[in-house]
Amino acid sequence: MHKKIRQALACGVTLLCLLPALAAPTLQNIQARAHQSLNGRWQYIVDPYETGYYDYRRQPYDQSASGSGGFYDDRQPRDKGELVEYSFDGSPTLAVPGDWNSQAAKLELYEGTVWLRRRFEAPPRADKRYFLHFGAVNYEAHVYLNGRKLGTHIGGFTPFQFDVTDQLKPGQNTVVVKADNTRHADAIPTVSTDWWNYGGITRDVLLAEVPATHIVDYKIQLAKNDLHRIEGFVQLDGPAHQPDVTVTIPEAKLATTVRTDATGRAAISIPVSSLRYWSPEDPKLYGVTIAAGADRVEDRIGFRTIATRGRDILLNGRSVFLRGVSLHDENPLIPGRLRGEGDMRMLLQWAKDMNCNYVRLAHYPHSEAMLRLADEMGLMVWAEVPVYWTIAWQNEATFANAAQQMTDLVVRDRNRAAVAIWSIGNETPVSAPRNAFMGKLADTVRALDDTRLVAAALEVHREGREITMQDPLAERLDLISFNEYAGWYWASNRDMLDYRFTIPHDKPVLVTEFGADALAGLHGDADTRWTEEYQDQLYKNQFRMLDAIPGLRGITPWILVDFRSPRRPHPVYQDFWNRKGLISATGERKKAFHTLKAYYDAKERQYTNKVGVLDAAGEEKRR
Ligand code: GCU
């Protein structure tokens, strides 16, 4: 039993107000662990005034002496005379995982608290530990098990879990979640975003079972810039009796056994003579087994290096062009957060149909399943945290929130070969506080993972017809990556070709956004906004403009498919949709889809024919 609880018992203090947050480091590769899914129909209660959390004097029930009174008690009247003014029994249900906006008309624009309840049978076994895991809850979650608070989590797109070993009881258990998607100026993201504020338990919920001493985390990847060495670590948790850790990669005939140190950590280093390196053309994944004591985890991992050399991006030592597209975590056909592998595979296949080898998963962490699909389907990934637009740069709690979301993203996905770039934000306006905030965030992600590139979608400076990169943050990043809307937000299809880019950096250039709205099926001449022809001509003009940038090594036009946004009210052209998609909300491919594919087909030929495979040391060797 937790030490604090023993102390509390000793002095007879009510447990609830002292029950420590049982947040635990999230188990690496959670889906591969023995687990019971808690997905399915959860009863829900809409609570716009948070009646289920505060008493009438606005005091939180769960911090009061009794600790009871909130909806998390899931109370039933004991007799016909007792007053209980809520009930999950008899309430409607929501599908979990699933945002509430797309499941109930009255919740389409709802921002506030919704309570969700799930009952489940848990056969706890004495020699095991149990973790209640959430893939994501947007935005703030308070979690209770059998009426006791487990803890809270802030951040709408990253996983979290609680050690419930001591809270589970044999037979029926009840989990209650208070999910609140209210936006806040000092949050990450802040109050203004160009995407739908989908609230709720939007990703998987599961109860994982692991041995008392178990593998909590690991990293098994190629060393930085070294095609001939796998390195990383395995971290154990539990009673320390320092078992050996064995990592095997049978198909590659690789294995190593290492003793853990006193903290339960084992450093991994395996020399490699021949591997099929992961690439979009050959997305090879190897079965990897990590074993320690009574625990064993199977994963599928790709091995590749990613680096820059001057203006080149090198994948496995070879210069590549990132033929990309941006996308949100939303199914356009059944609007709402992506619900499962079918949704995700559909979107990534649409990108591949356009001959993409790369996707920008904007503007927040997408699900782990999405990253594993990118591994499998051969798409490099730009992964991003929602440090978006006008953040509260001088608020320390805001920075801590951003750093935590960045950390959770890196810890979750650092074994995914597809992830090539960690992005620390999007279109953040230059200022001294912002430069300091973003510089620290860049340091944070580099300290977590030095094997991938670090970037941000910056903004350009415009003076007359000159477009230059003057953002001081560019010095701290591996790429010169920026959004520019020539021809849409400034200039027109006619005069955008008069603009010239000046990029005073010897680094690869990625254009992370350009685009135009087009209402699918609306046709006219190339000067008429909202038509497919205008969007198509803009893409053709963009290619001419961007190909003049010597260091251009990739683009992710905005955006794969139309998406919902509260910022787009035009009743004819938008109707709360951002129409910059290359594909419409009904799956129609607009003219620009085919134009972009033709451009990528040409880029692919250009880079495939490019002689000069660089070895890991960067030496040019002819094929
Ligand atoms: C911005 C922003 C996107 C937004 C897009 C647009 O650059 O990064 O999130 O949707 O432009 O205005 O359509």
How far does residue 389's CA lie from ligand 1's centre (Å)? 10
For the chain, give me the number of helices (H) and strands (E)? 7, 38
> Which of 319, 380, 418, 303 is CA-nearest to residue 618?
319
How far does residue 413's CA lie from ligand 1's centre (Å)? 25
Separation between Cα atoms, residue 8 and residue 273, nearest integer Å:
57
Angle at 397 between CA 159 and CA 99, to 5 degrees: 35
Angle at 189 between CA 187 and CA 194, to 5 degrees: 145
Burial class (CB in 10 A: 0-12, 13-18, 19+), 305: buried
8 Å CB contact between 42 and 117: yes
HSE-CB at 211 with a 13 A cutoff on CA atoms is 14
Separation between Cα atoms, residue 567 and residue 293, nearest integer Å:
54
Nearest Cα residue to atom 9 of ligand 1: 194
Task: Give the nearest ligand 1 atom to 580 CA.
Answer: 13
Task: Give the nearest ligand 1 atom to 489 CA.
Answer: 12
C-beta atoms surrounding 411 within 10 Å: 18
Low-confidence winner among 79-83, 120-124, 328-332 (lowest mean pLDDT): 120-124
The pLDDT-based confidence of 614 (bands split at 50, 70, 90) is very low
pLDDT for 178 beyond 90:
yes
pLDDT of residue 521: 98
Task: Read off the DSSP letter of residue 621.
Answer: E
pLDDT for 621 beyond 70:
no
Inter-CA distances, 175 with 62, 147, 168, 525, Å: 15, 8, 10, 57
Nearest Cα residue to atom 4 of ligand 1: 194
pLDDT in tens, 198-247: 999 999 999 999 999 999 999 999 999 999 999 999 999 998 677 899 99
Structural domains of the chain sorted by starting position, each given as residue range(s) with its CATH number in brackets: 3-211 (2.60.120.260), 214-304 (2.60.40.10), 315-610 (3.20.20.80)
How far does residue 128's CA lie from ligand 1's centre (Å)? 47
Q: What is the CA radius of gyration of the chain?
A: 26
pLDDT of residue 610: 66
Give mean pLDDT, residues 313-321: 96
State whether the beta carbon of 426 lies less than 6 angstroms from ligand 1: yes
State whether the beta carbon of 556 lies less than 6 angstroms from ligand 1: no
pTM: 0.94
Percent of the chain with pLDDT over 90: 91
SS3 404: helix
State whether the beta carbon of 319 lies less than 6 angstroms from ligand 1: no
State whether the beta carbon of 512 lies less than 6 angstroms from ligand 1: no
pLDDT of residue 52: 98
Separation between Cα atoms, residue 612 and residue 619, nearest integer Å:
9
8 Å CB contact between 112 and 48: yes
Residues 6+ apart with CB under 8 A from 393: 431, 433, 434, 436, 437
pLDDT of residue 608: 83
pLDDT of residue 597: 98
How far does residue 515's CA lie from ligand 1's centre (Å)? 9
395-401 long-range contacts, CB within 8 A, separation 24+: 395/186, 397/186, 398/186, 398/187, 398/188, 399/437, 399/440, 399/441, 401/154, 401/155, 401/187, 401/188
pLDDT of residue 157: 98
Separation between Cα atoms, residue 228 and residue 436, nearest integer Å:
37
The pLDDT-based confidence of 615 (bands split at 50, 70, 90) is very low
How far does residue 580's CA lie from ligand 1's centre (Å)? 9
SS3 308: strand
pLDDT for 8 beyond 70:
no
Separation between Cα atoms, residue 248 and residue 278, nearest integer Å:
18
State whether the beta carbon of 194 lies less than 6 angstroms from ligand 1: yes
How far does residue 578's CA lie from ligand 1's centre (Å)? 9
More confident residue, 140 or 66: 140
Give mean pLDDT, residues 507-530: 98
Chain centroid to CA 6: how far? Answer: 38
8 Å CB contact between 525 and 580: no
Q: What are phi and psi of 329, to 5 degrees?
A: -90, 80
Name the helix (H) or strand (E) containing 333. none
> Which of 152, 139, 153, 114 is CA-nearest to residue 198?
139
The pLDDT-based confidence of 124 (bands split at 50, 70, 90) is confident
How far does residue 30's CA lie from ligand 1's centre (Å)? 33
The pLDDT-based confidence of 126 (bands split at 50, 70, 90) is confident
Low-confidence winner among 146-160, 518-532, 597-611 (lowest mean pLDDT): 597-611
SS (H, E, C) 456-507: EEEECEEECCEEECCCHHHHHCCCEEEECCECCCECCCCCHHHCEEECCCCC
pLDDT in tens, 355-369: 999 999 999 999 999
Pairing of strands 322-327, 552-555: parallel
Residues 6+ apart with CB under 8 A from 111: 181, 182, 183, 197, 199
Alpha carbon dihedral 225, 227, 228, 231, in 10-degree steps, equals 60
pLDDT for 613 beyond 90:
no
pLDDT of residue 21: 47
> Which of 114, 183, 173, 168 is CA-nearest to residue 142?
114
> Which of 41, 38, 60, 35 is CA-nearest to residue 142?
60
Task: Give the nearest ligand 1 atom to 563 CA.
Answer: 10
Residues 6+ apart with CB under 8 A from 460: 467, 468, 469, 482, 483, 484, 501
pLDDT of residue 3: 45
Q: Hey, what are 117's tokens?
A: 């309840």
pLDDT for 532 beyond 60:
yes
Summary mean pLDDT of the chain: 93
pLDDT of residue 618: 45
State whether the beta carbon of 163 lies less than 6 angstroms from ligand 1: no
The pLDDT-based confidence of 22 (bands split at 50, 70, 90) is low
Separation between Cα atoms, residue 426 and residue 482, nearest integer Å:
9
pLDDT in tens, 430-481: 999 999 999 999 999 999 999 999 999 999 999 999 999 999 999 999 999 9
Ligand 1 pocket test target in 513, 538, 563, 578 with most atoms within 8 Å of CB: 513
More confident residue, 318 or 20: 318
State whether the beta carbon of 312 lies less than 6 angstroms from ligand 1: no
* Residue with tokens 């001493």, as numbered in its chain: 213
Percent of the chain with pLDDT over 70: 94
State whether the beta carbon of 427 lies less than 6 angstroms from ligand 1: yes
Q: Is 411 left (phi over 0), alpha (psi -120 to 50) or beta?
A: alpha
